[in-house]
Amino acid sequence: LAKLNQYDDTSHHIHANKSPSSSRSIFVCGPSGVGKTKIVRQAFCDIDAYFCEGKFDLMKTRKPFSALVQALTELSRKTLIIRKKNNSISRQNNGNPSSCNGPSNDGSSKRSPEDDRRDQVKQFLEKNESVLAGVFPNLGRYLNLDITSTTSASGVIDDNSSTMMSVISNPTLVTQQAWKQTVSKFYDCLRSLISLMIGPTSVLILFIDDLQWAGIETLDLLRDLTTKMPRLLLVGGIRIDTTDKTTVPSNVWDHPLLREAYKEYKCQNTPFRNNHASKCLLIKPLTVEPIAQYLTHTLDRMDVHDLAELVFEKTEGNMFHILRYLEMLHGSGHLYYSIQDLQWQWEDLAMIQDLKETDMGAVVEQKIIRLPAACIDVMKIASCMGARFDLELMQILLDNWSEFSLKTADNRTTMAVLSTENGVPLEEILWPAVEDGLLEELGSDPMALSVQYKFSHDKVQSAAHNLVGKERDTYHLTIGRFFKHQYEQNTGYSWMLIQAADHFCCCTLLLQNQKEKDKVAQVLYLSALELRTKSAFHSSVGQLRIALSLIGSDGWDRGYDLTLRIMNLIAESELCAGLMDECVARSKLILKHAKTLDEKQVAYNVWMMSLFSENRVDEAMVIGLELLRKMKLSSIPKRVGARHAVAELVSTHRMVRSLSDEDFGAIPDCQDETIQNYLRILMNLAMSAWPVNNKFAFLFFSLRLVQISLKKGYSACSSPGFAACSFVYGTLNCFAECDRIGRLSMDLAERFDSPYVRALTMFMYYSAPYTLYESCCLKMSAKFAETTKIAFESGNLLVGCIGRWGYLYSRFLEGSIRFDDLAIGAAQSCEEQGLCHVTLFTDTSILLRQLALNFHGRSPHASVLEGDAIPDFDEFKRLSKQNEVNYVRVVWFSLIAAFWHGDLDRACGFATQNAKHWHGEHPTWHSSFMPFIRCLTWCQLYGRDGKSKFRRLAKKEQKILEGWVEQGLSNRAWLCSFVRAEIMAWVKGLDGTLCNGKSNSNIGFEDEDDVDRRVSEAYDKAIEDASSFGFPQYAALGAERAAAYLRSRYREQQQQQQQHTTQSRRAYENCRKYIRLALDWHCRWRAISKIRQIKSEFVDVLGDDMMSVVGSSTNLPLEGSSFYRNTNTSIC
């Protein structure tokens, strides 16, 4: 098939994309039966890489990651099973593979690289068993490990089960487990596992077929793998019908993984495009000409064109249908081999045209019907179970079918397979179907429990399923009961629980008895809980909604405990799935029916978190305050204002000041669960108020958290409150107390084993106290990276997303990242926030990306934040005014862009607005760079315009910076060095302080030379200090500013016709020296806009040697960046 015309070309096209560096995902689209799978297998059969495939199943749509499980199971067989020299499997311990190759022929026992890899994988699986359990249980069998789900199977239906009763009676169980298994940690573990299995240099080609039946959680996982694994290539097969309309659900095409491929699919008129590395390959049915070629090769005749036209008319060029149609003609005698003529012949085409069996689906059904009755029964049952089935499991099901099926009046069955005499092997019963090509026996797997079979094609499974007819619901109910029973007998096999729930969802109409409905609802609840641990939130929501329909409208009165548990779990799952409107409605319903305040805690927390994630902080605050007032543990105002915040600040300061370090350490831990929950609510409210700059609420809740912790004892939620308290002390310039309380917060974070809270504490501590006291801030980005990792692993998605942005922003401040890398990192941060349903910092990430693009020369005007990320800055600015916090960040980033690119008029307006914002934000934010950039802006404006107001504003900012240093903030001394150099150069204060100044023309020649020397020394110190404190980007700015000053001095001397003097030559050479230094740094960062600016401003002092450097650095491609080639070594 792959040798015919378009298929051969398509195969070559896929080969062109085989390298993950060119494209990490290719999607092959086409109708069912057109040959997509064959083409992919043919294209990658001779590539030196691991090729693994999996296929989604229409009958198992609720089973998460099923196709990925198949593919990785195949990968584990290829990489973890040890083979001897004769290619046989080395097995020990009851059929399990041995952990070593055994002694070699020479008697030695050398270890191979495969042995080391097995040991590494084994250690990894043992360490991360809780994360991978239940999702990939078979992997452990290749390493003599028992990796199974920890969920108990007992008591799924039994009302007297202690396990079930513990689940129902404990109202805080789901809340405590809600974020234990998070999406990010599962993704990280899976990426690490795949990397270990394929080794450090091999490439994995992952073929996932029938992606149209994949769930959203699976698409999210595949997108994460393709984005963050540079040695993985995803090939996706997508089924599209012959009328050129997609059968794929809209939410699948809207997913970021497939969005670009869908655009290409919609605009493609040919199956491939030779001059474009397409991500979507449309495989069309065969035309008459390739069908004729196929018939010529098959029948060994040349006069097949009329027959080819007939075959095309009947089959529409679908290769699967072509084969079935020819088989039908041969079976009916219309296509036969003539012994007399020694060639293939066929009846008159008009006679063939009139055959009744023209429906290709009916042709397959008729082929199945001709099988023995027992074989038909097994195929009908198997079609309800999925595309493949286990022979041993099928045998157990058949042996117990009457036990689990619905009882009839005479208690008899009409299934022929159940009437077959005992002792007939199931392989014999299935052999006719295998012989006719309807079933395939899978290749022997030494680790499989038994032989496995699969349908040869989806259309065969569909035809067998159609034969089930009206008994379909009965089959699903029987199979569901069977899997439930198997789950109870095999504790920990969570896939059996999910399988049972999946079948129950297909037969709810047969459940007439309310007691049985309640039991099935319990199964669906436990299955949804298991799906939650696998990050399959959408599938969990689907099963829980069916469970609610089974319980009925009277569930709150009849089965209160079960209804409450299901409602709590579905609300949390909807929150994780991003279904915010449904989540809020569910929470309100729980609050309406729940009896006690403790039982309402989950609903309150979920409601608040959903509002926080949508940036509706004020509404969430109202709900939080209402809950705190109902708990009645302290006095809570209806609305927090300045008066309440100041009162909390004063009382907290008195309490903290009276305690020594020993007193802090002597305070015990709180054991009261009510107080612990109260502190948790205070923590959530405080940390949610901080990013949106609700400073009064931030102060009140965080300081109230500190006070109650000091009075009632510490809890896991106390440390963020002390970190926030430290943050406040820092912004109020109480640096010594800031350091003391900050270190206490980190000690408390280590004291309690709560990574979720620890991540929050780390972020608060590193955002202010850490950066205030660290002498070298090169560590700042590393600390944010550590915080982000812990936050995502613990499920703290808000802190994880903000921490990712903080990591990128700190690397920008440090000058430790190229701007093309920064642009890509900021874009990925935006996508990550979308996947996590956290939008608080999305606009800020967009601003950071556009700023990076400006520096990289990808904007029409470098000083205006407008380009690929922000198409219309004025519109973006107008929309940001609706959110005060976003507008503050728009002004700040606009000031950076304008100042760095020398647009002083634009910078003046933004600096004025920034000053108002900066003073108004205290004490929730503390940015030492804001007064620093403003001071430099005023200095340059004074040097250009000579207006006294700019000198006054610069003096004000300088006093702020020097005041910090005088009060003990020594790591900001480099800011003062920079400011003194600027003032000395442009405001003409030789001692580094502001004065009225006097023009250079009034200073004697010796005085001018002394000014140049002292200004150069001041800039040298500023450059050295900025570099030593970890800010080379500002060292480059200092070099540029020094060059600008010396160029102005050189021009003055030229105007005075002193260009041949020693002082003039010295100014010229020193200017070139500083320019060379600035260019070197900017080239390193790919700051193309700055290179262009220097080329334009310093054209009169740039020589040919330096111009060549500038010319070669202004056209660097974004795609050539190290971040693009390997994101795993940067932010990801």
Write the DSSP string, 188-232. Answer: HHHHHHHHHHHTTT--EEEEEE-GGG--HHHHHHHHHHHHH-TTE
pLDDT at 893: 92
Question: Which residue, among 1116, 1074, 1069, 1127, has the nearest Cα to 1092 in the 3D structure?
Answer: 1116
pLDDT at 908: 94
- The partner residues of 53 in beta bridges, in order of sequence, read 207
Question: Which residue, among 790, 721, 730, has the nearest Cα to 761 in the 3D structure?
Answer: 721
- The SS3 of residue 696 is helix
Chain centroid to Cα 1027, Å, comes to 35
Question: Cα(292)–Cα(308) distance, rounded to whole angstroms?
Answer: 5
3-state helix, strand and coil shares in percent for the chain, rounded to the nearest 5: 65, 5, 30
Question: Cα(330)–Cα(345) distance, rounded to whole angstroms?
Answer: 10
Question: Cα(961)–Cα(975) distance, rounded to whole angstroms?
Answer: 7
Position 748, amino acid = L
Position 93, amino acid = N
Helix (H) or strand (E) holding 835: helix 819-836
Q: Are 404 and 482 in contact (CB under 8 A)?
A: yes
pLDDT at 352: 76
Q: Are 14 and 26 in contact (CB under 8 A)?
A: yes
CA distances from 1119 to 141, 288, 764, 824, 1122 (A): 42, 43, 35, 10, 9
- The SS3 of residue 236 is strand
Question: Which residue, among 611, 623, 532, 621, has the nearest Cα to 570 in the 3D structure?
Answer: 532
CA distances from 84 to 49, 101, 102, 114, 117 (A): 21, 7, 9, 12, 16
Question: Which residue, among 190, 204, 202, has the nearest Cα to 125 in the 3D structure?
Answer: 190
Give the pLDDT means over successive 10-residue stretches in the chain (1132 positions): 45 48 70 82 79 80 75 80 42 35 43 73 74 59 47 33 29 34 69 85 87 80 83 85 48 70 61 47 84 88 87 84 84 85 83 67 82 89 86 85 68 54 77 89 58 85 87 88 84 75 86 86 88 78 89 87 91 83 89 88 85 78 86 85 88 89 88 86 82 80 91 89 86 83 89 85 79 60 88 79 88 87 89 76 89 90 90 87 81 92 92 85 67 91 88 90 83 88 76 42 50 86 88 89 85 66 77 88 89 85 61 41 32 24
- The SS3 of residue 390 is strand
CA distances from 331 to 300, 336, 367, 707, 1011 (A): 19, 9, 10, 87, 104
Q: Are 559 and 585 in contact (CB under 8 A)?
A: no
Order across the sheet with 25-30: list the strands.
50-55, 204-209, 232-239, 25-30, 280-282
Q: Tokens 């916090």 correspond to what residue? A: 885
Question: Cα(837)–Cα(831) distance, rounded to whole angstroms?
Answer: 10
Helix (H) or strand (E) holding 576: helix 560-576
Question: Cα(257)–Cα(218) distance, rounded to whole angstroms?
Answer: 10
The answer, yes or no, to whether the previous bond of 923 is cis (omega within 30 of 0) is yes
Question: Cα(659)–Cα(492) distance, rounded to whole angstroms?
Answer: 51
Question: Cα(201)–Cα(195) distance, rounded to whole angstroms?
Answer: 9
Q: Are 476 and 384 in contact (CB under 8 A)?
A: yes
Torsion of the alpha carbons at 701, 705, 706 and 710, rounded to the nearest 10: 150
Q: Are 803 and 763 in contact (CB under 8 A)?
A: yes
Dihedral pair phi/psi, residue 441, rounded to 5°: -85, 120
**Vertex 479: Cα angle to 473 and 481 (nearest 5):** 105
Question: Cα(181)–Cα(130) distance, rounded to whole angstroms?
Answer: 8
- The SS3 of residue 879 is helix
pLDDT at 998: 40
- Pair of tokens at residue 282: 């449309």
Question: Cα(29)–Cα(991) distance, rounded to whole angstroms?
Answer: 73
Dihedral pair phi/psi, residue 205, rounded to 5°: -105, 115
pLDDT at 443: 58
Return the beta strands (E) in 31-182 as ranges: 50-55, 91-92, 96-97
DSSP character at residue 421: P
Question: Which residue, among 9, 178, 71, 331, has the nearest Cα to 795 in the 3D structure?
Answer: 178
Q: Are 757 and 748 in contact (CB under 8 A)?
A: no
Neighbours of 19 (CB within 10 A): 13
Chain centroid to Cα 1131, Å, comes to 13
- The SS3 of residue 284 is coil
pLDDT at 989: 53
- The SS3 of residue 241 is coil
Question: Cα(198)–Cα(195) distance, rounded to whole angstroms?
Answer: 5
Question: Cα(663)–Cα(139) distance, rounded to whole angstroms?
Answer: 52
Question: Cα(728)–Cα(650) distance, rounded to whole angstroms?
Answer: 12
Position 681, amino acid = I
DSSP character at residue 92: E
- The SS3 of residue 507 is coil
pLDDT at 894: 93
Question: Cα(859)–Cα(853) distance, rounded to whole angstroms?
Answer: 6
Chain centroid to Cα 851, Å, comes to 24
Q: At what angle do helices 929-945 and 973-982 cross, to 10 degrees?
A: 10
Helix (H) or strand (E) holding 432: helix 426-435
Chain centroid to Cα 130, Å, comes to 20
